[in-house]
């Protein structure tokens, strides 16, 4: 009965929205809806899978060279499961929060629910502030990484401009995402983004196998603890794209189905990341230790250039995914979130893009920044805070009894769920944040020592230096 009641409460407003959106039967309106207005489970699947694999697809072979093949595969499987678990926890907390609010007659049709609001509604302002701090910082650096990746990738097609100059250019291009109102409007882009990364992943796999192993290839990893835990936290980041989880759920007509969608998306991502990372590492071995972007080692031809161009487009899309929650937070702060004027909201969003652009110009370190963000931000934002928040939300007997969604039967009830939560928190705190933070910061500092913060031509080839 509880689950039936929840579906009615949650789906209610979305059904109304669908009717409003679909009231016009013109061909132009239907075509616009197909391209522009998302909300189905398929849109959510495209968004989740696309968002996960985009972050570190090109740096996973680099992580394998640090970890070794066996550890690389095992960490992907482990963190894939853990990422799906915490996505499940976040979805449960979202449904709990939204159900409580809609029972109080709160209308969310002109308001996008975000993670910090869920924490505020369930646990109070202290938790809201913690969630807001970690989530926004993570999204800022997630957006920074996309700009860095754009500059790193285009450089392999045209090195007449240095990477920092390319960062200026792509920063201006990505700033146009201020005109995209919400996640509903990423329908066709999510689908295209997933197709693009699928092409790139299988290109990397096939091209590496055709290329074969380089002469005297070595597979020494792991060689040092610093490299080992740096690689591990990069994989932690791979399956830690939860900073936009609540916003994607809110864009769904039936958000209670999100947890299954995310698991399926993770399984699909593994079919891309495991073969591509393994094949590139098999072909190039330890050479990857000095080439964090796998595309830099593959033969220059039309297929590689196509992969680079597709990844550039996809990173533009992912930049929009990472920035949109920040846009919402800023809109709410300056009280323009409810306005229907796209131009007014776009102008209000510009101050969000500028500091992200500036940070990307300062830190153009494609590989090391991924693992640093993974250890210091993803560990708490994606794994520790959701696990702890879920345990505290349902700590009382009355909260467990009235819970909208109960634990899956195979876990053995609430005790089994708490045990999994504790394992996730302890593992991520010790391995991800502790050892991973130590290793990632050392690696990041070495990059700064080697290349500086404002070097005019970062990582230029010898003839350009």
Q: What is the pLDDT of residues 384-441, one digit of tens each?
A: 999 999 999 999 999 999 999 999 888 889 999 999 999 999 999 999 999 999 998 8
Q: What is the DSSP string of 143-185?
A: HHHHHHHHHHHHTTT--SS-HHHHHHHHHHHHGGGGG--SGGG
- Is the pLDDT reported for residue 7 higher than 50? no
Residue 136 falls inside a structural domain = yes
What does the alpha-carbon distance between residue 351 and residue 330 come to, in Å, rounded to a whole number? 9
Residue 304 falls inside a structural domain = yes
pLDDT at 8: 39
pTM of the model: 0.85
Residue 282 falls inside a structural domain = yes
pLDDT at 20: 39
Mean confidence (pLDDT) of the chain: 83
User: Span 292-319, mean pLDDT?
Assistant: 90
* 133 in Cβ contact with 123 (< 8 Å): no
Read off the pLDDT band of 163 (50, 70, 90).
Answer: confident
Read off the pLDDT band of 265 (50, 70, 90).
Answer: confident
- Percent pLDDT > 70 in the chain is 82
Residue 28 falls inside a structural domain = no
Domains held by the chain: number: 1
Domain that holds residue 65: 39-451
Residue 126 falls inside a structural domain = yes
Q: What is the pLDDT of residues 90-137, one digit of tens each?
A: 999 999 999 999 888 888 877 888 999 999 999 999 999 999 999 999
Read off the pLDDT band of 6 (50, 70, 90).
Answer: very low
Residue 50 falls inside a structural domain = yes
- Is the pLDDT reported for residue 370 higher than 80? no
Residue 299 falls inside a structural domain = yes
pLDDT at 185: 67
Residue 299's CB: how many other CB atoms inside 10 A?
A: 9
* 347 in Cβ contact with 339 (< 8 Å): no
pLDDT at 184: 67
pLDDT at 366: 63
Read off the pLDDT band of 39 (50, 70, 90).
Answer: very low
What does the alpha-carbon distance between residue 154 and residue 176 come to, in Å, rounded to a whole number? 19
- Is the pLDDT reported for residue 79 higher than 60? yes
Residue 9 falls inside a structural domain = no
* Closest CA relative to residue 267, chosen from 53, 89, 80, 91: 80
Distances (CA, A) of 326 to 115, 143, 455: 12, 10, 29
Q: What is the DSSP string of 394-446?
A: T-SHHHHHT-SSPPPGGGTSHHHHHHHHHHHHHHIIIIIIIIHHHHHHHHHHH
CATH number at 152 reads: 1.20.1740.10
């Amino acid at each position: 009965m509880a689950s039936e009641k929840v579906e009615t409460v949650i789906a209610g407003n979305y059904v109304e929205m669908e009717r409003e959106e679909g009231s016009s039967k013109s061909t132009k309106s239907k075509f616009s809806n197909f391209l522009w207005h998302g909300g189905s489970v398929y849109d959510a699947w495209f968004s989740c899978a696309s968002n996960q694999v985009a972050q570190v697809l090109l740096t996973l072979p680099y992580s394998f060279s640090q970890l070794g093949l066996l550890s690389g595969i095992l960490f992907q499987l482990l963190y894939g499961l853990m990422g799906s678990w915490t996505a499940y926890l976040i979805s449960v907390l979202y449904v709990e929060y939204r159900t409580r609010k809609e029972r109080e007659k709160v209308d969310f049709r002109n308001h996008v629910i975000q993670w910090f609001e869920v924490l505020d509604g369930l646990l109070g302002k202290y938790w809201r502030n913690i969630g807001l701090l970690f989530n926004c910082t993570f999204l800022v650096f997630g957006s920074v990484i996309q700009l860095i990746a754009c500059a790193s990738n285009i450089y392999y097609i045209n090195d007449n401009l240095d990477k920092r100059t390319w960062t200026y250019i792509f920063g201006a291009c990505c700033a146009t995402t201020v005109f995209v109102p919400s996640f509903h409007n990423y329908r066709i882009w999510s689908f295209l983004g997933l197709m693009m990364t699928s092409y790139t992943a299988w290109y990397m796999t096939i091209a590496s196998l055709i290329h074969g192993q380089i002469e005297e290839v070595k597979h020494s990893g792991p060689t040092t603890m610093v490299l080992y835990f740096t690689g591990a936290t990069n994989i932690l980041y791979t399956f830690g794209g939860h900073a936009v989880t609540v916003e994607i759920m809110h864009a769904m007509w039936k958000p209670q189905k999100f947890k299954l969608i995310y698991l399926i998306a993770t399984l699909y991502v593994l079919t891309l990341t495991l073969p591509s990372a393994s094949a590139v590492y098999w072909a190039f071995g330890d050479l990857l230790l000095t080439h964090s972007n796998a595309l830099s080692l593959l033969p220059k031809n039309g297929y590689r250039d196509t992969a680079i161009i597709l990844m550039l487009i996809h990173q533009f899309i992912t930049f929009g995914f990472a920035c949109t929650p920040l846009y919402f937070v800023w809109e709410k702060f300056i009280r323009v979130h409810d306005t229907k004027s796209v131009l007014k909201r776009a102008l209000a969003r510009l101050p969000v893009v500028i500091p992200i652009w500036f940070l990307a110009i300062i830190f153009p370190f494609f590989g090391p920044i991924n693992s640093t963000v993974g250890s210091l931000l993803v560990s708490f934002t994606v794994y520790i805070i959701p696990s702890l928040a879920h345990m505290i939300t349902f700590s009382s007997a009355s909260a467990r009894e009235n819970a909208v969604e109960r634990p899956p039967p195979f876990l053995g009830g609430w005790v089994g769920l708490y045990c999994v939560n504790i394992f996730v928190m302890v593992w991520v705190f010790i391995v991800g944040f502790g050892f991973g933070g130590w290793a990632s910061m050392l690696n990041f500092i070495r990059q700064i020592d080697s290349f500086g913060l404002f070097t005019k031509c970062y990582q230029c080839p010898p003839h350009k230096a």
